[in-house]
Each structure stands twice: as C-alpha cells, then as structure tokens.
Homo-oligomer: A and B are copies of this chain.
C-alpha cells in the first residue's frame, strides 16, 4: 500500500497498542472535534437524532463515547437545513461528544423497489411521504456538512454480500469508487472528517482492488462496507482477512459498518477492525432480549415474572442497579416505555462494557486469552440462550 497525502485533518488517529502475536487486534485513540474516542469502539445508532428510548444522560451513563446518526433519515425529517439553522446536530440533540453520520447509502439502496440507481446517484421515493428525492454523492456530503457531524462518510453502493452476482458487485464497487472521488471533491467543511468506503462484496480480488483504490484517496478513515449483511461469519472473516492485511501500515482507523453482535464484534476486532456500529443491541432490547455474558435472556419468558434478581449480577446499568427481572418482564408485557428504555440501557451498557474489556485486554497484551474466555462464557448457563442474533443496520 502506498502512502497517501493527507489534507489537514480535523481528526487524528493514533494506534497506541499495535497488533501482537496471534491477532491483528489493536487499540488506539481517535481524536475528533468533540473529544477523543478509545478504539476498538462500538457506536450506538441514533437514527432520528435520538438513540431510541434514551436521552443524552442515558447515553453518557451507558458509556457511549461516540454515536452514529443516519444522514438519510435526518435529511427527510426534520431536514438537514433545519438542523443546520438550529445550530447543528450536536446542539439539536443535546449531545456534545463525537457523532459520525453514515452516508445514507445503505438506507437508500435498501429501499429496493422504491429507488433507481444511475451514475449520477440514487433517485428514490421518501419512506415518509413518497416524494421523489435525488441522493447524489454531492447531496450526501451537503447533508452531512449541514448536520455538522465530526465524521462524514461517502455515499456508496453496497450490495447484499451473500446473494449478489460478481457482475453486480463489480459494477457497484466501481461506482462506489467514482462516487468516493466526487464526495472528496464536494467535501468542504474543515472541522469535519470524511471516511471512504471499501466495497467488493465477498470477491477477494474485488475487495483487494477496492481497498487499494479507497486507501489511495485522502480520506481520514476507511470504512469496510457491504458486510454485516447476509454473509456467513466465515465469509465475513475471510473478507476481513483480505482487506486488513492490505491496510497494514496505513495510519487510518478501520470501521466495519453495521456489526453489533458481541461475538461478531470480537471476531472483527481480532481481524484488526477499530470501529463498529449497529442498531442491534437496542433493537433486540426493545424485543425483550437482554444480553448477558452467557448469551441472552428472553424476558417474555413467564419464569422471569417472579425472578427477583437483576438481569445481570454486578452490571452497573440503570436497569440492573435498580430493578428486578420481574419488574422488567412486567413493564415489557404492559408495553410500558420505561421497559424499553431500561432494556436498551442494559444492552448498550453490556456492549460497551464488552468493548471496554476488549480494549483493556489488547492494552495488556492478553486479547487472545480474553477472546477465548469471552467465547467460553457463553455456555448457555443462567437460563441464557447462547445463540447470536442476526444483524440489522438502521431503524
């Protein structure tokens, strides 16, 4: 990989603990205009300028260092220009720590029949009122500049990794590269970083050439897109094992978009990824699935109605320090908002604590042992189901 020229970047990334023997896991610090982020990091998703059911104090309490918000959704409602005129996204939602905005690429492309893709961009019908919207690379950048996130992301064209033809992947990857250049050209906000997105599906040669193409551009960070979809864990790992070694020596953070299941995160950290986001912990919480070291508890199960224990002994979250499994099970059955909030607090605390343990072990040089231990913890005891959830990207 050749060295790249950087403009003066509003973010800086330092790998404080490089990969060691037996793993590519590394720890670092990403400095942004709204403060530092310790990596590897998980970013909770605040689609509509709120992480569902939580307020900013809750977010600080669960340990969120940075959140993601969705460019597409905010551009449609309440409108990025409105948010800009109200002082930007941080002020609008009362969150003074870093924000990364996605590009809208995933949401736009996932609309299926509601959109058409051309070289110019994506034309689609609003999910709210059916009006026609042209989402071009330039528009994606303009929206993110108006929102004022710390980190903007290029518009890309992801394709379902496990079920796309090589021709489709080739085409979408090449377009993603052209759109990346247009995003770079359009981007003009000096206090906002811009990340590029590597595509290439599950085709190792296309992944390799995409990694080379995107890494050659002066982005502030490198996203690995088009995963966390319908691929298997082995296919995902194989893809990371193509991409990450090609980025060795590259000074920029690596961000795998859309991954949120703890065991998936663990494997991707091992593969050398620094940043993650997903709605998964919050969404499954609202569906009454609580994450614990042994796996997951389905709070709809009748036995929890009489269970005086906290969801997770020793957990410091708002749910576990104040309430029983019985109370949570009651709230969820009664469709009470407090139940969704408490469950979300727990799952995000669990996920961010999990990443904290991962960072600590990387710094201590013991990540491979910690990884084995965390996997072994999921033994299906404590009434927990040790299977993983599927993956979802926005809400």
| Interface residues in chain A, defined as those with a beta carbon under 8 Å from any beta carbon in chain B | 48-50, 52-56, 77-78, 82, 85-87, 92-94, 305-306, 308, 318, 322-324, 326-327, 329-331, 333-334, 336-338, 340-342
Contact = CB atoms under 8 A, between A and B. Distances in A.
A58 to B, nearest CB: 9
A151 to B, nearest CB: 22
A326 B55 contact: no
Given A55-B318, A341-B55, A306 B92 contact: no
B92 A324 contact: yes
Nearest to A87: B308
Nearest to A73: B334
A82 B302 CA distance: 12
Q: Which of A87, A92, A318 has the most CB of B within 10 A?
A: A92
Contact of A86 (B50, B53, B326): B326
B331 A48 contact: yes
Given A48-B336, A85-B306, 16 more contacts: A49-B330, A52-B337, A54-B338, A55-B318, A77-B333, A77-B334, A78-B305, A78-B326, A78-B329, A78-B333, A92-B326, A94-B323, A94-B327, A337-B337, A337-B340, A337-B341
A340 B50 CA distance: 13
Contacts of A336: 48, 50, 52
Contacts of A337: 52-53, 337, 340-341
B93 A327 contact: yes
Given A48-B330, A305-B82, A327-B92, A322 B56 contact: yes
A67 to B, nearest CB: 13
A350 to B, nearest CB: 19
**Protomer copies:** 2
Given A55-B318, A322-B56, A327 B82 contact: no
A131 to B, nearest CB: 16
Contacts of A318: 55
Contacts of A341: 55, 337, 341
A245 B87 CA distance: 57
Query: Which 4 residue pairs spanning A and B have beta carbons closest together?
Result: A78-B330, A48-B334, A53-B337, A50-B338
A3 to B, nearest CB: 44
Contact of A306 (B55, B86, B306, B326): B86
B77 A338 contact: no
15 contacts: A49-B331, A52-B338, A53-B338, A54-B338, A55-B322, A77-B333, A82-B326, A86-B327, A87-B308, A92-B326, A92-B327, A94-B323, A94-B327, A337-B337, A337-B341
A308 B92 CA distance: 9
Contacts of A55: 318, 322, 338, 341-342
A111 to B, nearest CB: 18
A340 B336 CA distance: 12
A308 B94 contact: no
A87 B318 CA distance: 20
A85 B330 CA distance: 14
Contacts of A324: 86, 92
Q: Which of A56, A82, A86 has the most CB of B within 10 A?
A: A86
A306 B82 CA distance: 7
Contacts of A323: 94
